Structure 1
Amino acid sequence: MHDHSLRDQIVAEVHARPFHKLSGPLALCHQAILYEGVAEEAVNRSVRQLASLKGLPLPQNSEGFFFTRNDRWALRFEPHGEFYSLTLYALATTEPPAFTDEEREQLPGAYLCGVEVICQPDVGTDPEPLLEQHFNDHQVSGSSVMGAAGQVFTDFRERSDSRMSRVLVLQQPKMIDYRCGRLLQRICEIDTYRHMALLGLPLSNEVMPEVTALDQALAETVASIAEARREPAELIHQLMQQAARVEDLSARSANRLAASEAYFALMYSRIEELREERLEGIQTIEQFMDRRLDPARRTCKATGERIERLSKRIARSTDLVRSQVDLSIEGQNKDLLEGLNKRARRQIRMQAKLESFTVIVVTYYAFDLIDRTLRNILGDTELERQLSLGLSLLVPLLAVGLFWYLRRLLKGYDDE
């Protein structure tokens, strides 16, 4: 027995992105950066160079996820399918860290979103001054999370100086370090997945007018099928053009819309893991997301469903035209067969009219054949003359017998 080639990778996957022991006071900035064609090798190399510039210990692995820290800083790198995230922690301070312009230029990819998280112990005072300090007079969403182990507040607004939103976390004494690390990671993921999910909305708004136009064009085509206003060949050609346009829309949008739905599901899963409890006078994070993001989610979902329904409707319409063509061909075949049957009946009736002439001819040749046979066998004798006389008397019976035989032979054709 030997180990499976993927065994180590599968076993390590469970612990590939662990939570870390963190505790306030601390601050972090989390950024999500799209690859946009940049190779993962270049990203891995640049991120590790950034860790070196920060004076952080280099990770043992040369690619993939890593978390490294010293007494002042910590850096978490997490690659994903179409983006990677960087989280820079400033330990023992509530001043949010930031990447310098030089460090930002070194990082490859396209910046999508970021969030600043300030985590500090809750001293039991009224949080209103802190909310005023961090969020001014903006509407704040927040809740008590993880069984009242902490409180989370945010206004979901991007700050002009850092181009990031801000989240304030008040840590209760009963929140242990691992729970604090898990909470901070969930907050970062909620912000990232929220923006990644919304990448499908501009595309949905772009293709929706095309979907509506195709829907109307297909309705007109179906009406033409029902009213038989156009030739089937023209209808098939029109349906093929519409099917090609629908496939083009699907190719442009299917992957993005499916990814958006997956990111929405991940975001709501992370919100559910917060186990929010409502604070008096403040809407929860889940309520904010439901109110502000649910319409966008429904738009993306409806766009994908409408494109899929269009494809199915075109397939059904094509089947209708094909059925129409098949019925037309069957009608033509029926007319052709009926014409053949009519010609066959005319031929049989003509043969029936010629039966009398046929009987006369056959009777003549039969009489002549028998008479010649008797003459050759018996010669010119009295017996031959008597048999010839008897044969002459039997000519009517011979004619009647031949007529009956021909009628019986042709009776089956007459019935058909």
Structure 2
Amino acid sequence: MNSAANPYGLTMHEQRDALYAELHSRPFHVIPSPARISYLAVMIDVSRKQADFEHFCELYAYFDQIPPSHDSVCLEADFGDVRIRRETHLEFVSYTVINQGQPFLVDTFANTGVSRLPKEWLVRLGGTVVSAFHVAIEDATQQPEPDLAEVKSYFEGMRLVGSQPQAGAAQVWTTFRIHSDGFGRILVYNREMSNSQLGRMVQRLIEVESYRLIALLGLPLARHYNQNLAQMDQKLAELTNQLSDARHDLDEQEVLSKIIDMAAWVESARACTTFRFSATAAYHDLVLKRLAELREDEVSGHLTITEFMTRRLTPAVRTCKATGEHLENLSRRIDRVSEMMRTRVEMSIQSQNQHLLASMDRRSKIQLAMQHTVEGLSVAAISYYSVGLIKYLIEAAYENGAPIDKSLAVGLSVPLVIGGVWWATRRIHKRFMQLAKEQQDIGEEHH
């Protein structure tokens, strides 16, 4: 909203309207008594959500109404005595179908919300259904509540879980099991709640039932990886013992290969479970909050919904949490073993380098001794050839009348030539040693 759209001339944030709308995107239901409700939670890929929206729009044609032009996080269609709400979530799409118009039969769950939907539309519903149940709402102010045996017959004789939410304003029965029609069942007797209060309570019951199932999706993953985690712990312990035992030679390549294989398995497991385990924890928190909002009173002889959930759901969630922590801990331990292995390899390389340097030093000393020997031989050889040249010069001078003694001159030239050659050789050697030292000093300064 810009400054021209408000009387104060203020420039509004471009997301302001969307932020306001977000708080009202999923309003509570308003449900009369009696009513029949069906709920479906369909796991669907993000790429198929547009196709699911188009499939939902087909219901508008079935009920002779105009479909919406675009998708939204929450779409509610009122088809007279049938109301349908479609909500898109991160992993799934939910459908809540409220049937409030047809006469209800003696069998409480014979007429449901999905009874009003075309069967061919349900068959073509995309994705996989993870949560499906019926909610039957009866008005306890107009007819007495049935006895426990009759209530149990509505649930095909299964063991009941029941409570009195909102300080006894309603009576709720369920089994948290799948019945013969493939759906779960929840029975609500409204004693003194308004349509808005009833809608809020029923929505909390729906969320408890759907979120607890989605939270449990992480349990099969946890059980699958728990079968291998104990073996991985044992293998890692054995590798650690091998590294700590200095009495035995170690095949470093083999150990590194095992560590790499273990690290790859753990990272693959973490990639497959991190999102699922995080979702499990998030949905579990939502279930606990919705249970607290129900404010249940106990029905004598029966578990409340909260007691049932904390007894069954919480251990499953803790298993997922423990498995995730086990994977994280195993990953850290593998990192530490890898660091130990790298340190061992580096020490081995340093030891090899030291042996190599010592060997090179010995060879250098031998080469130096050989060099000194060669230098002595070189001095003798150069001196010999130099004296021979000088002898030719002395003989040439003597034959041309120079007053010299040839033998004495040649004899005197021998020590002089040897001394000169030796002095020149040492000067050259000293110069090269000085150049080598200067290069070494320059290298040390760079380091």
Q: TM-score range by the shorter chain?
A: 0.7 to 0.9
Q: Secondary structure at the match of 2:208?
A: helix
- Aligned residues of 1:59 and 1:68 also touching (Cα < 8 A): no
Q: Paired residue for 2:73?
A: 64
1:224 partnered with 2:224: no
| 1:27 corresponds to which of 36, 45, 58 | 36
Shift of 1:218: 1.2
Q: Paired residue for 2:113?
A: 97
- Aligned residues of 2:152 and 2:160 also touching (Cα < 8 A): no
Q: Paired residue for 1:214?
A: 232
Q: Paired residue for 2:189?
A: 170
Q: Secondary structure at the match of 2:126?
A: coil
Residue correspondence of structure 1 range 106-125 to structure 2 within 5 A: 106-123=124-141, 125=145
- Is there any run of 5+ residues in structure 1 with no aligned partner, and where? 347-416
- Aligned residues of 1:41 and 1:63 also touching (Cα < 8 A): no
Q: Paired residue for 2:220?
A: 202
| 2:322 corresponds to which of 302, 308, 315 | 302
> Which residue identity lines up with residue 247 of structure 1 in the other structure?
E
CA offsets, 1:16-41, max 9 Å, x none?
10012212111100011111465221
Identity over aligned pairs, percent: 32
1:154 partnered with 2:177: no
- Aligned residues of 2:63 and 2:79 also touching (Cα < 8 A): no
Shift of 1:58: 4.2
| 2:21 corresponds to which of 12, 30, 33 | 12
Shift of 1:147: 2.5
CA distance in 2, matches of 1:57, 1:279: 47
CA distance in 2, matches of 1:234, 1:136: 61
Q: CA RMSD in A?
A: 2.9
| 1:260 corresponds to which of 270, 273, 280 | 280
1:145 partnered with 2:154: no
- Aligned residues of 1:114 and 1:191 also touching (Cα < 8 A): no
- Aligned residues of 1:28 and 1:117 also touching (Cα < 8 A): yes
> Which residue identity lines up with residue 199 of structure 1 in the other structure?
L
- Is there any run of 5+ residues in structure 2 with no aligned partner, and where? 1-9, 105-110, 367-447
CA distance in 1, matches of 2:27, 2:147: 31
Shift of 1:328: 4.0
Change (3 A) 1:132 1:233: closer
> Which residue identity lines up with residue 128 of structure 1 in the other structure?
L
Change (3 A) 1:277 1:52: farther
CA distance in 2, matches of 1:109, 1:136: 29
1:312 partnered with 2:332: yes
Q: Paired residue for 1:86?
A: 95
- Aligned residues of 2:145 and 2:189 also touching (Cα < 8 A): no
- Aligned residues of 2:163 and 2:299 also touching (Cα < 8 A): yes
> Which residue identity lines up with residue 325 of structure 1 in the other structure?
V
> Which residue identity lines up with residue 98 of structure 2 in the other structure?
Y
- Aligned residues of 1:89 and 1:97 also touching (Cα < 8 A): yes
- Aligned residues of 1:38 and 1:108 also touching (Cα < 8 A): no
Q: Paired residue for 1:243?
A: 263
Instruction: Report the number of matched residues.
Output: 346
- Aligned residues of 1:36 and 1:110 also touching (Cα < 8 A): no
Judge which range, 204-213 or 108-117, deviates more: 204-213
Change (3 A) 1:37 1:6: closer
Shift of 1:120: 1.3
1:321 partnered with 2:341: yes
- Aligned residues of 2:43 and 2:128 also touching (Cα < 8 A): yes
- Aligned residues of 2:25 and 2:73 also touching (Cα < 8 A): no
Q: Paired residue for 1:287?
A: 307
Q: Secondary structure at the match of 1:63?
A: coil
CA distance in 2, matches of 1:157, 1:101: 24
TM-score normalised to structure 1 length: 0.75
CA distance in 2, matches of 1:164, 1:170: 20
CA distance in 1, matches of 2:147, 2:70: 43
